[in-house]
Structure 1
Amino acid sequence: NRPVENTIVGSCVFQFKVDYELVKHLPTGMAFYSDAVSAGGHLWGIKFFPSGEYEADEEYVSIFLEHMSKSRSVGVIFEVFMMGRDSKPSMSLSHIRRLCQTFEIMEDKDSSDCWGWGKFLERTTLEKDYLTGRHVTFACAIMIIDDSCVPVPPSDIGTHLGRLLDHADGTDVSFIVDNETFHAHRTVLAARSPVFRAELFGPMSEATMPSITLHDITPATFKVMLRFIYTDELPLEDELGDSSTEMFQNLLAAADRYALDRLKIVCAQKLWDKVSVDTVATILAWAETYNCQELKNRCIDFFVVEENFKKAIFTDGYALLVLKFPEIIAEMKKRV
C-alpha cells in the first residue's frame, strides 16, 4: 500500500531562442511568445517578458509556461535553464528553475493559464553572462505527469536529521573547535564521509575518544559543514553575510579534507558564481590547491580573455598565484 510516484506520460525538450536585441526594449508587461509545442497531447507556449511582467519585476526577465489546450486539466513539470555562450547548459544552480503544477480547465476561454517566474533572472546577469551576439537561449523541458497516482511528497529526511542534530538526541561523539563544542552521531558522520568513517570506526585513536579536538578549521566553517552532512543543504548566502566567499573557500578546504564530494562541487559552483577580475586569481589558487579541475578550467578560461587578464594581473591574488603556482601562470601566458 505504499504511495506510487507520479509517472511521466509525455514530454518535450526544446530550445527557445530569443533575439534579445530586438525585444529588450519592450515595456514591462509586454511578452515575446515562442512557437507552440506539443507534449502529452497538449499544446504549450513560452511567454518571455524581457522587462518583467510587472513593475516589481522590471529589473528581471520573466518567463512563463502557458497551457494553450483548453480540453482538460493536466499535471506538468516545467524546467528552464540558460544556455551559456559555449552552447552548453548553465552550471549555475541559481539560474535553473523547476515547477510542478496542475493546469486547470479555465471557465473563461479567453483567459490564460500560466505558471512561471516573475523574477527568473536579473537582466544585467542575462546580458553579461548569456547574451551571445543578439540572442539568448532558454532550454525548456515539459514533462506531463499522470496525476491519477497517489502524490508522493518530497523527501524530508534532511529535515528530520537536522532536528536530530539540533536536539543532540543520542549523540555519541563531540568535537572541540577553538573552545566551541559540537555534538554529533558517529554513524551519521561515517555514512557521509569515508574520512570520518576511518577516524571513528577504524584503528585510529579517535575511534575510542568521546571528544575530539580539531585544528585548521574555524567553528563557523565546522558548524556549516556539520549541518550539510546531516541535511545536504547550505545556509542561504544572505545568512552568511559579507563573508560568504571566504566561507565557501573554507568549506571547499573542509570538503576536500573529509572527502565530502558533493559539498566540494557545491562550493566550487558557488565560487564560480563569484568570479570577477578581482577574485579570479584567488579562486583559481583555491581550485588548484583543492583539486577542483572543473573550477580551475573555468577560471583559466576567464583569465585568458585579454581584457580580463590585463586587469586581474594587478590584484593581490595574482601575486600569490605567481608565487605558489608558477606553472599555471606559464600556461595562461601561452594562451593570452
Structure 2
Amino acid sequence: MSTSTIVPRAKATGHHILRIRGYSHTKAVVATGEHVVSCGFRVNGRTWRIKCYPNGSTMEHADWISVALIVEPEAAAAAPVNPWFSFSILDVDGKPVPEHTSTSYGIRGFTQPGCNYGWAFHRFVRRFDLESSAHLMNDGFAIRCDIKLMRAPSLRLEETFLDVPEPDLHAHLGLLLDTGEGADVEFKVGGETFAEHRCILAARSPVFKAELSSSTAGTCVKIDDMDATAFRALLRFIYTEALPETTVPAVARQLLAVADRYQVARLRSVCEDKLSGNLDKMTTERNANSPPVRAQPRGHHGTHRWFIIIFWFMELCLKFLNLLGLRRQPPRCSLHHSMMSTSVDKPHDDEARPLISVSTIVVSQRTGHHVLRIEGYARTKMMLANGQYVCSGEFQVGGHTWHLRYYPNGHRPETASYISMHVLSTSIGATEDAVHGKVKLSLPGPGGELVPLCTYHNNHGRCTFTKQDNAISFDRYVARDELEKSSYLKDDCFSVRCDLTVFVKEVRAVSLVEVPPPVLPHHLCQLLSSQERSDVFFKVGRKTFAAHRCVLAARSSVFKAELLGPMREHEASCIRIDDMDADVFRALLHFIYTDEMPTMTSEEATTMAQHLLVAADRYDMERLKLASEDKLCRHLDTTTAATTLALAEQHQCPQLKEAVFAFLCSSTANLRAVVATDGYEHLTSSCPSISKELVAKLAAAL
C-alpha cells in the first residue's frame, strides 16, 4: 500500500489518493471491522487520514469495502471543522468513476474529541463489483478523497509534488536483452545462441571487457564449460541487477563460480545471500521443536558465510550417505547444531552446543532522509522570535510520520544565539507505544558533501520516541554567526538534511550476507564518461559527445527509430543536433545512462529542468519529462511562472499547468508580479487561450 501527497488549493480544498497494492493479501489478513489507514495529510492546518476497511466496517457490511475520513485533534486548531467531502474509485486513467463515488450530502461536522472521530461510508463499493471491474489492475486499486472546508482559511500555497515513476533503467535494459536489438556479439553456450551488446558487457565485467577488446575477439564467442541456464541468468543480472525469479539454489551455486570467473562482485553476494536464505529456511524448519539456542555474533561475516556453505555441502553428503544406507545411526540434530567429528557415524552428545544458530526473529531497520531547504534565511530570522518555529512537510520512515521544526532564533532564551532543530513523530501511539531509532542532522555543503553536525543516540545506540515525548531536540544545532560566515549559507539559503533510522521488530529470515547496493547506473556512467566502445557521435554546438547506440535505443523510442530502425542513420558516424544547447544534451545523456539528473544549484536546476522538459518530450522519455515537471513545481516563483506555463501548454503537461494556475490564483501579489514580466507578454502572444483559462480559474477562485 502506498500513498501520494495532497495538493492544497487557494481555497481550503485538497485531495488525497490512497493506493492499495496487494489487494488480495490485504483482504486476506485484515478482518471485518479492521482497517488500514493512510498517512496524515494536511488541509487547512488540520491533519486528516483515510481509513479503508477491505472486509467492511461491521458484520452487516462484510460484503462491502468501507471507507472513513477522520481528523486528528490539534491544540492549535481546537475549533470544529465542517467539511464537504467525497470518495471515489479511480479508473485506469486516474479519473474518478461516477458510479463508485460517494459524497457527503451537505456539510458534516467534526466536533468530538479524540483521534478517531469522523464520517464513514459503510457501503462504499461492493467487493464483488470491484473485483469484476477493470478498476482492479495488477491486484491494486486507488481511492481518491476530496475535501472542501466551509470556513475561511488563511491562504498559504504549499509545494506541488508530482508522482514521478520509479527508475526504469533496469527495465529498459532488460527489454534490450530480450529483443537483442542492436546486438554486436553472439555467444554459443550449451547449444543455444545469445545475441548481446559488447559495451554493456564490458561496462559490467572487467573480464568481458578484456575478452571482447582483444584482437582475437570475433563476432561469435563459444563457451563450452558453462550451462546455458546459468549463462542466461548471468546476462539477466548484468543487464538488470536482478536474477530471474525462477532461479533455484542449484543455479545459484553455479552462478557463484560464474561470478568469480567474470568478476561480477555483486552477483556473487546475491547468490551467497540466496543460498544462505535457503539454508536459513531449512534450519528453521528442522529446529522448530528443538530447545532455544543462543544467537552468535555476526563478526567476520566473510568467514562465517563460507562455514555456512561448507556445512551445507557436508550435510548434503551426509544425506547422500543416508540414502545409500551407510549411516548406522541418524544424528539427533542438524549438522549446523553439532560438533564436527572425525567419525561420520559417531552419535552426537546430548550436551553438545551448536556452533552456529540462525534466528528468524530480528530487529531490522528502516532508513530514510528528508531535506529541509530554508529560502530567505534573513527574513525567517527577522520574522520569528525566540521559541517560534516553522515546520517542514511530513515524511515517512519506518511506517511512521515525521517532520522537522526549524527555530531560526533558538528554542529557549539560553539558546537565542543558535539555530535549533527538532525532529518529531506525529504517529506514535497509533500502532505502538514507543519507537526506537537514530537521528543525524547534516548541512549539505556547496559541493554536495554532508557535514554531520549533530547525531543523537544514548549509550544503548538509540533514541526513543513516545507519545508523551515525541521529539528529539538539537537546541544548539549551529551558532547563527558561524552559519552566516560559512559557505553553507549561499544566496540567503541553506539546507538541513535529516537522516533517520527506525528500528522495526519483524519476523523474517536473517540474511547472512550483506548484499551491496545496485551499481548498474554507476557502471553505465563510467561507460559514458570513458567513451569506450562508443559507436555514435553527436555534434551539439561546438562540442562532440560519444555515446552507444544500444543504450540510447533502449531508453528512447525516438533514438531507437533514428539509430536502429528502418530510417536509421547507420552510415553517419556523427549526427549533428543544431537546436539544443550542449549542456542540455550532456544532462540528457547523463539521465539516459544513470536515471538521475546531474547535480547543480537551485537556479541552474530550474533552468535546466525547463530545457530537459523540451528534450524529454522530443525524445519520448516520459520519466524524465515528469521529473522535470516535478522540479519546476518545486521551484515555482514569479520569475519562472510564465515561462513554465508556456512550456506546460506547448508540451501537454496538465499537472504542471494546474500547479502554475494554483500559484497565480493563490495571491494577487503573485498574479501582479507574473503579469508584469516579459515572459507573460510572450505567453499571451504565443498561447492566447491561456489568458481565457486563467480568467476562468480566477473567477472560480473568487
Could you say whether these structures have the same fold, taking a TM-score greater than 0.5 normalized by the shorter chain as the test? yes
1:85-126 deviation line (CA, Å, top 9, x unaligned): xxxxxxxxxxxxxxxxxx999449xx835899979xxxxxxx
| Superposition deviation, residue 167 in structure 1 | 0.8
Amino acid at match of 1:156: V
Counting only pairs closer than 5 Å after superposition, residues 249-288 of structure 1 correspond to structure 2 as 249-288=610-649
Kept in 1, the 8 Å contact 2:423–2:472? The answer is yes
Q: Provide closer, same or farther for how the CA distance between residues 251 and 10 of structure 1 changes in structure 2, counting only shifts above 3 A.
A: closer
* 1:228 aligned onto 2:591: yes
| Superposition deviation, residue 143 in structure 1 | 7.8
Amino acid at match of 1:3: D
How many matched pairs?
A: 260
* 1:192 aligned onto 2:555: yes
| Superposition deviation, residue 244 in structure 1 | 3.5
- Map of 2:692 onto structure 1: 330
| Superposition deviation, residue 243 in structure 1 | 3.9
| Counterpart-to-counterpart distance in 2, 1:56 and 1:173 | 60
| Superposition deviation, residue 258 in structure 1 | 0.6
Kept in 1, the 8 Å contact 2:540–2:576? The answer is yes
Out of 176, 181, 191, the residue aligned to residue 544 of structure 2 is: 181
Query: What SS is found at the alignment partner of 1:197?
Result: helix
Q: Provide closer, same or farther for how the CA distance between residues 293 and 142 of structure 1 changes in structure 2, counting only shifts above 3 A.
A: farther
| Counterpart-to-counterpart distance in 1, 2:419 and 2:646 | 34
* 1:245 aligned onto 2:515: no
Kept in 2, the 8 Å contact 1:174–1:211? The answer is yes
- Could you state the TM-score of these two structures normalised by the residue count of structure 2? 0.32
Kept in 1, the 8 Å contact 2:629–2:656? The answer is yes
1:133-173 deviation line (CA, Å, top 9, x unaligned): xxxxxxx9968365832333322211110001111111111
Higher relative contact order (Cα pairs below 8 Å, separated by 6+ residues)? 1
* 1:294 aligned onto 2:650: no
Out of 394, 407, 417, the residue aligned to residue 51 of structure 1 is: 407
| Counterpart-to-counterpart distance in 2, 1:282 and 1:335 | 18
| Superposition deviation, residue 175 in structure 1 | 0.7
| Counterpart-to-counterpart distance in 1, 2:570 and 2:416 | 56
- Map of 2:102 onto structure 1: none
Query: What SS is found at the alignment partner of 1:276?
Result: coil
- Map of 2:582 onto structure 1: 219
Q: Provide closer, same or farther for how the CA distance between residues 171 and 8 of structure 1 changes in structure 2, counting only shifts above 3 A.
A: farther
Kept in 1, the 8 Å contact 2:406–2:421? The answer is yes
Kept in 2, the 8 Å contact 1:51–1:57? The answer is no
Query: What SS is found at the alignment partner of 2:569?
Result: helix
Kept in 1, the 8 Å contact 2:438–2:457? The answer is no
Greater displacement, 55-64 / 284-293: 55-64
Identity, % of aligned positions: 31
Query: What SS is found at the alignment partner of 1:63?
Result: strand
| Superposition deviation, residue 9 in structure 1 | 8.2
| Counterpart-to-counterpart distance in 1, 2:591 and 2:548 | 14
Query: What SS is found at the alignment partner of 2:559?
Result: helix
1:27-82 deviation line (CA, Å, top 9, x unaligned): 49x9x9xxxxxx89xxx89685442799899667542669x9xxxxx99799xxxx
Q: Provide closer, same or farther for how the CA distance between residues 172 and 318 of structure 1 changes in structure 2, counting only shifts above 3 A.
A: same
* 1:112 aligned onto 2:463: yes
| Counterpart-to-counterpart distance in 1, 2:631 and 2:525 | 22
- Map of 2:532 onto structure 1: 169
Amino acid at match of 1:332: L
Out of 314, 333, 336, the residue aligned to residue 676 of structure 2 is: 314
| Superposition deviation, residue 10 in structure 1 | 10
Kept in 2, the 8 Å contact 1:26–1:50? The answer is no
Kept in 1, the 8 Å contact 2:537–2:573? The answer is yes
- Map of 1:63 onto structure 2: 423
Out of 510, 519, 523, the residue aligned to residue 148 of structure 1 is: 510
- Map of 1:3 onto structure 2: 273
Q: Provide closer, same or farther for how the CA distance between residues 157 and 315 of structure 1 changes in structure 2, counting only shifts above 3 A.
A: same
Kept in 2, the 8 Å contact 1:200–1:208? The answer is no
1:211-255 deviation line (CA, Å, top 9, x unaligned): 1111211111101111111011112222xx854332221111111
Amino acid at match of 1:63: V
Segments of 5+ residues of structure 1 without an aligned counterpart are 12-23, 33-38, 69-73, 79-102, 120-139
Q: Provide closer, same or farther for how the CA distance between residues 61 and 237 of structure 1 changes in structure 2, counting only shifts above 3 A.
A: farther
Aligned alpha-carbon RMSD (Å): 4.5
Q: Provide closer, same or farther for how the CA distance between residues 148 and 300 of structure 1 changes in structure 2, counting only shifts above 3 A.
A: same
Query: What SS is found at the alignment partner of 1:189?
Result: helix
Amino acid at match of 1:303: L
Amino acid at match of 2:608: M
- Map of 2:143 onto structure 1: none
Kept in 2, the 8 Å contact 1:75–1:147? The answer is no
Amino acid at match of 2:407: S
Kept in 1, the 8 Å contact 2:457–2:463? The answer is no
Query: What SS is found at the alignment partner of 2:407?
Result: coil
| Counterpart-to-counterpart distance in 1, 2:401 and 2:697 | 43
| Counterpart-to-counterpart distance in 2, 1:270 and 1:280 | 13
Amino acid at match of 1:51: Y
Q: Provide closer, same or farther for how the CA distance between residues 105 and 277 of structure 1 changes in structure 2, counting only shifts above 3 A.
A: closer
